[in-house]
Amino acid sequence: MVTASVEQRVWDALREIADPEIPAISVVDLGVIGAVDVGADRVHVDLLPTFVGCPAIGVMQRQITERLTELGVAPRVEVEVSFDPPWTSDRISPAGRERLRASGFAPPAAAPSVSGLDELAVLSVATCPYCGSRNTTLDNAFGPTLCRSIHHCEQCRQPFEQFKSL
């Protein structure tokens, strides 16, 4: 019982940490928190990068370490970058998808499977976060950060970004 409540406190603290690149969404809603293991002498958190080369990984690692150290649930805090399981855009929570949309980012479409080299149709139609239209075009599969693509809404004529499906 005691352990369960400590774990709950850790998750609550993690929910307060915003994604450094898209502050509207927390690291928990973004799905980058993997296994959390609370022991008597240490708390261990797996951090699952969205993209391998994401420059915000170090910032997240530091923020999580600082916040959990401050929480004081264990003398040692370990935040380890892990690819097990690999982060996919399906890890973004329903609440996270809604927060993305509300701040002008189209949430990702369902993550594509990785069965073959020929499966290149990874980009689905994005829904405009402003007017909800699916009459949108992809301007660039690459955007201002590794995880974002650039789109245009034919309906309300707004440019917008999508969190990429991965």
Helix (H, G, I), strand (E, B) or coil at 107: coil
User: Is residue 79 part of the contact set for another protein (CB under 8 A)?
Assistant: no
What mask, x for binding another protein by CB under 8 A, covers residues 93 to 132?
-------------------x-x--xxxx-xx---------
* Contact residue for another protein among 139, 152, 156, 158 (CB under 8 A): 139
- Residue positions counted in the chain: 166
26 DSSP assignment: B
What mask, x for binding another protein by CB under 8 A, covers residues 8 to 47?
----------------------------------------
**H or E element, residue 153:** strand 148-153
Residue 94: Cβ within 10 Å count: 9
* Contact residue for another protein among 83, 102, 154, 159 (CB under 8 A): 83
- For residue 36, what are the β-bridge partners? 45
Least distance from another protein to the Cβ atom of residue 136, Å = 16
User: Is residue 52 part of the contact set for another protein (CB under 8 A)?
Assistant: yes
Give the interface segment with another protein, choosing from 22-30, 50-58, 64-72, 98-106 (CB under 8 A): 50-58
User: Is residue 84 part of the contact set for another protein (CB under 8 A)?
Assistant: yes
- For residue 57, what are the β-bridge partners? none
Listing DSSP states for 90-150 in one string gives GGS-HHHHHHHHHTTEEPP-SPPP-S-TT----PPPPPPTTT--S-EEEEES--SSTTEEE
* Contact residue for another protein among 39, 75, 144, 159 (CB under 8 A): 144
Give how many residues touch another protein by CB under 8 A: 29
Of 11, 20, 31, nearest in space to 86 by CA: 31
If you compute the radius of gyration of the chain from its CA atoms, what whole number of angstroms results?
A: 18
Q: Which residues bind another protein (CB under 8 A)?
A: 51-55, 82-84, 86-88, 112, 114, 117-120, 122-123, 139-144, 146, 150, 164, 166
